[in-house]
Homo-oligomer: A and B are copies of this chain.
Amino acid sequence: MPAAGPVPRSKHVREKHRRRRAEILSAARRAFREHGYHATTLEHIARRLDVRKTALYHYFPDKESILYACHRESLTQVHRHVEEARTRHTAAGDRLAHVIREHVRVMTDTLEGSTLAFEVTALAPAHQAEVIASRDRYERALRELIEQGIAEGEFRPLDPKVPVFVILGAINWIARWYRPEGSLHAPELGAQFADHLIGGLARR
């Protein structure tokens, strides 16, 4: 990621910088959700934070770098959940359930229902390549969990390719219907997704 603005000095300043950056990303995701990425301006984002547009330049040089930071943040989270699943659970079904539940939470809580997953073509080519490579790595991790479940005899024998598309499609689609002010929320929502999507792989 390109360096943007001054490098923070003390621990206190660093913490303040980190918090402000997170606030900007949150405001940006809400703006993207409301107007769509393309129609969103830095002005929209600044207005939500009650600051002037120039105040954002200390953190991000442009709108694309904000989108990129949003992508990086959610991808970092989903990869961390794969690691968590590996250390916390032994059975493939439990690991996959953990990953699905937490990915649903990323969609509802981190992304707050923004359609970020749909905006990969708006990224600069180098960022786009990085995001796609990171997604590919995540898809491979899901395929491996399904293969493990088949090897353990919990899942029926199948090509894991299509089930991974089914799982990711169901989760990414959350951005199309989720409303933070609605009645469906993590963790119940994640548990329902995991039950449905893992139950469908089980031996009958």
Q: Of B118, B169, B189, B198, which is within 8 A of A200 by CB?
A: B198
B200 touches A163 (CB 8 A): no
Q: How far is the CA of A162 from the CA of B193 in the complex (A)?
A: 8
20 sampled A-B residue pairs with Cβ under 8 A: A118-B118, A158-B192, A161-B184, A162-B193, A163-B196, A165-B170, A165-B174, A166-B193, A169-B174, A170-B170, A172-B176, A173-B173, A197-B200, A198-B200, A199-B199, A199-B201, A199-B202, A199-B204, A200-B200, A202-B204
Question: Beyond A162-B193, A169-B173: 18 further Cβ-contacts under 8 Å?
Answer: A36-B121, A158-B192, A162-B189, A163-B192, A165-B173, A165-B174, A165-B177, A166-B170, A166-B196, A167-B170, A169-B171, A169-B174, A170-B170, A170-B173, A195-B200, A196-B197, A197-B200, A199-B200
